[in-house]
Amino acid sequence: MTEEVTYANLKFENSHELDNITKPEDTKKKVFQIPKDYRKQLRDLNMTKNELHANFSNTLQAIGNQLCLEGEKNLKNNGQNCVLCPANWKWEGGDTCYYHSEKMKSWEESHQFCSSRNSTLLLIKEQAKLSLVQKFPRKTYWLGLIFRPQQRIWYWTDNTALTEKQKSWTKQINFLQPCGYFYYSTIYSTTCKEEVYYICEKPAIQLQRGNNHWQEDWFVRPE
């Protein structure tokens, strides 16, 4: 009889303790809540992307129609293929825009000015570029060319070394005057603190008109 009472008490006490145990939270709602929020964010991102794409496309069509079809008739790049440069930059042919300085600066100041406009100082790495810049106003222009004493070699600012062929366009360049400049058809060097004119260059925006099955649209032509 005593054993039965003891067993009954233990069973009751255990039951009471179980009732006081905190029940685990219902995680089912949380499990499904995360994907729901994710889907909403994804829809919002897709809507934003589509709106940005539509706005860009509309702006591109307006720019192409106004500047490439309705621009000055004497521009060589008017028509179905169009090359555009920023304001105050010049297109001299090819796929490059040029900014001609009106003031003289040191090499470092000129380099920083071009870099701040996502461009580089003038690079003359091909014979075609050499022939082109000879048509520029006859001034002294800084080049993106500098002597690196660690490597003891001349480098362009795009980290390519001056080649043997390019050296044939130079005259009187030496490491004691480590900054390159250009005059008419020849590359020289002088001290970097000298103040001369400079030219910045950057890739032009190239537009092309194509048929997208519904209408003719402008698009940025890949390089």
23 backbone dihedrals φ, ψ, rounded to 5°: -75, 140
User: Quick one: three-class SS letters along 73-136?
Assistant: CCCCCCCCEEEECCCCCEECCCCEEEEECCCCECHHHHHHHHHHCCCEECCCCCHHHHHHHCCC
Q: In this structure, what is the dihedral angle of CA atoms 128, 135, 93, 223, given to the nearest 10 degrees?
A: 40
Question: Who has greater pLDDT, 6 or 63?
Answer: 63
Q: Which pLDDT score is estimated for 61?
A: 56
- At 32-86, the pLDDT tens digits run 455 767 777 777 777 776 666 556 556 655 555 555 644 445 454 555 567 778 8
What pLDDT does residue 209 have?
A: 64
Show the tokens assigned to 161.
């070394």
* Spatial separation of the C-alpha atoms in residues 128 and 207, rounded to whole Å: 23
Q: Retrieve residue 80's tokens.
A: 């179905």
Return all residues near 124 (Cβ < 8 A) that are at least 6 apart: 130, 133, 143, 166, 169, 182, 187
H/E run at residue 190: strand 186-190
Q: Are 218 and 64 in contact (CB under 8 A)?
A: yes
- What share of the chain has pLDDT > 70, as a percent? 62
Name residue, tokens 């000298």: 194
Q: Which domains are present in the chain?
A: 2-52 (no CATH), 81-203 (3.10.100.10)
Rounded Cα distance between 79 and 73, Å, is: 9
Mean pLDDT, rounded, for 142-164: 95
Q: pLDDT for 157-196, tens place per residue?
A: 999 999 999 999 999 899 999 999 999 889 999 999 999 9
